[in-house]
Amino acid sequence: MKVSPYKLSIFQRCPLRYKFQYIDFLGDKYKKEWPHFIFGRAIHKALADFFRVPLEGRTLEGLKHLLRQHWLRQDRRVFKSAEEERMWGEKALEVLEIYYHSEDMSVQPEVIEERLEVPIADFILMGRIDRVDRLPDGGHELIDYKTGTYVPPQEEFDQDLQMSIYCLGLYHQRAIFASKLTAHYLQAGEKLTTTRSKEHLDAAVGKIKEIIAQIEGTERFKPRVNPFCSWCDYLAICPARKEAELAAAGEVEDLPF
Ligand code: SF4
């Protein structure tokens, strides 16, 4: 089976969504674009291209230009108005500007936006690594850009399966064992760093196998209403739609404005 951190997380959040997407292949019919996807994708692409530019060309204006270029390549019909698009676009530019001024823009990454596809044990690990830098001590730092708003507590990040999976994939695909794993939470302007041992990677393989066994052993893929239902592509055909919509409405009521 081919697995990625995203695919595994979909199953863990909602087995029915997993079935719609990966067993019934309904993605082509129901997959929707969302403003925050465009926001996240354009930022990732802009940063990837930016670190491919020779040092002398790495200006803030250049970074913003890359963002705009990648923004234009996406399906902008998702924005309900020019005002909404401007709001998201300005937020993306602001995020990049803060990043530009707070991080070392002169690094020469060893890996930039690399697709993972590597057989491990009895599965094929898929995914994408944002960046790997060589450290002065000869080690490697695996960097993941996060464009959502959530910043986990350190203890949660230390256990994060996704980071373990990236570390595992990098190790198997390139024989690089990252001595440092860092997530840059771009909207919050924060970063978290952690490490993994070989034992952690073995545990990650065990966890992946466990989830695969759960998937393969599932007879009825039931809906599991969760905080991400609002952005589920399959909400319209979900048998738990009413409950999912109510959950989303409840979240809205929790907002302080
Ligand atoms: S709307 Fe929620 S419960 Fe229904 S399939 Fe999507 S994620 Fe699952």
Provide the token pair at 254: 């929790």
The per-residue pLDDT of the chain, averaged, comes to 95
DSSP output for 212-232: HHHHHH-SS------TTGGG-
Question: How many distinct helices (H) and strands (E) make up the chain?
Answer: 10, 6
pLDDT of 129-144, one tens digit each?
Answer: 999 999 999 999 999 9
Amino acid code (one letter) for 222: K
Q: Percent of the chain having pLDDT more than 70? A: 96
pLDDT of 191-224, one tens digit each?
Answer: 999 999 999 999 999 999 999 999 999 999 999 9
d(CA 144, CA 111): 12
Decide: 234 in ligand 1 pocket, CB within 6 A: yes
Provide the token pair at 134: 């060589």
**How far is ligand 1, taken at its centre, from the CA of residue 223, in Å?**
6
Instruction: Give the DSSP H/E element, type plus range, for residue 66.
Output: helix 60-72
d(CA 194, CA 12): 23
Q: What are phi and psi of 182, to 5 degrees?
A: -130, 135
Cβ contacts of 45 within 8 Å, gap of 6 or more: 66, 70, 113
Q: Percent of the chain having pLDDT more than 90? A: 92
Ranges of H-type helices in 55-183: 60-72, 82-102, 154-158, 161-174
User: Please, which pLDDT band fits residue 114 given cuts at 50, 70 and 90?
Assistant: very high
User: Please, which pLDDT band fits residue 162 given cuts at 50, 70 and 90?
Assistant: very high
Closest C-alpha to ligand 1, atom 4: 238
Decide: 235 in ligand 1 pocket, CB within 6 A: yes
User: Please, which pLDDT band fits residue 254 given cuts at 50, 70 and 90?
Assistant: low
Amino acid code (one letter) for 100: Y
Decide: 223 in ligand 1 pocket, CB within 6 A: yes
User: Please, which pLDDT band fits residue 247 given cuts at 50, 70 and 90?
Assistant: confident
User: What ipTM was predicted for this assembly?
Assistant: 0.99
Mean pLDDT of 30-37: 93
**How far is ligand 1, taken at its centre, from the CA of residue 244, in Å?**
7
Q: What pLDDT is attached to residue 245?
A: 86
Q: Where are the domains of the chain?
A: 32-102, 108-217
Site to substitute for ligand 1 among 220, 226, 243, most atoms within 8 A of C-beta: 226
Closest C-alpha to ligand 1, atom 2: 229
Provide the token pair at 98: 């803060």
